[in-house]
Structure 1
Amino acid sequence: MPVDGLLFDKDGTLFLFEATWESWALSVLLRLTDSNLIRARQIGHEIGFDVDAQKFRRDSVVIAGTPSQIVSALRQHTAYSAEDLETLLNEQAAVAPQVEAVALVPFLNVLRQRGLRVGVATNDAERPARAHLDGAGITDLLDFISGYDSGHGAKPDPGPCLAFARAMNLAPERVAMVGDSLHDLHAGRAAGMKTIAVLTGLATADELAPFADVVLDDIGYIPAWLDREGQ
């Protein structure tokens, strides 16, 4: 069955995960600890981030978790209220540097020229997500944007995927969910969609392949995949 819509994860898919979120994690930890490196290292360990190496563990809550889940992991180590802590996380996320996985404007224009509907479903909050998409100049090229707080739920639940299908008036089986994590692929599968895995996050091809219809190096290979599928 042909694909009429593509729903993209944001971090690790449209944007390179490490380039963005390692910088974010360091800035958050230094802000929380008033630049006390010993405390920053301790708290970083709790969220799966090595401050000295500036690297995430593969099981870090930051990789696929929502801001509220990250708040829960951090809360016991700070005097911030949950609300203030989530505000701080979103503020730092909105200004985190973004490195595009491919040149996004021409890539999305190619998809739109094919007649595809295109959306983004992220476990980030919608406001910083829109700031990232605005910064890349691609908001107007998207038909749908959903964050974990947009009212559709968060991945790996299928809610954001099904919301995109409904908004685009597409059957889920005519949509492909594109992502770099198991959360993305599980959400797509649960929604009855095709699933495309990309290797611009932290997960390996061996981890993603059992849950993906195809594993690609990055989203730039999607047009060629569509051609091979006869679209």
Structure 2
Amino acid sequence: MMRIYNIICVSFLLLTTSAIVCATGNESQISEPFFIDLTISENSIEIGDTFLIEGYIVPSLLSHPGDRILLQVTSPKGSRAGVYYQQRVNSEGLFSLEMNADAIGDWSFNARYGEYSSPSVPLKVTPRLRVKETELTLSGPFNTVFKGDNVQMSGWLRDIEGNGIGYRQVSYSFGLPSYSCALCEDDTRRIWQTLGPVTTDEIGYFEFSFPARDNGKYAVKATFPGDEIYGQSDSEIAYPVVL
């Protein structure tokens, strides 16, 4: 004869955090309460997308108001994001961090404060179906340049929304003054030299210089070759004059 046990689950609050008790016959099991919780804006995104991590900790657990919580980010090989972040908690126990998915693969996130830890939250980052368009601008020089000086130039690599694109390599070329066509301003008749690459900083800014060994009007251009996230782009040609 089979004995049928009624399963009774009772929900109650434990230190303002829910726990579940399930009884089956004479046995009971209490699930471990989570005093820190994490959520993520998306479960699956494309590489290059931005996502938001939001968390909550029971405020009474904090030793001091405004304490920081340790957020561990585990990311695939090649990512710059796989580190620990210290995030300040507000008076309501909330904290958040916006990040960019810079590598394809499986990510995970975990928050810790003292002896307490959140459940691990996963994120899958997939290849892009379509790369993002980019814009490459070039400026300079910002002072008078004489023969024998270095010509200082700078520029920005941005996406179509105006956000700087960091840690990308940009090559640059300069064309010598066109002595064989001094009056026609034909860039195709210049002697071009390609140098670099230089790497953009965290906000997409870059600088470079080249020696001005001749007088005249030089032509300078920069090129971003593109990658799995961002499309190729070229700057407009700048024309620094060397006296």
Query: Normalised by the size of structure 1, how large is the TM-score?
Result: 0.23
- Name whichever structure is richer in strand by fraction: 2
| Structure with the greater alpha carbon radius of gyration | 2
Q: Which has the higher contact order (CA 8 A, sep 6+)?
A: 1
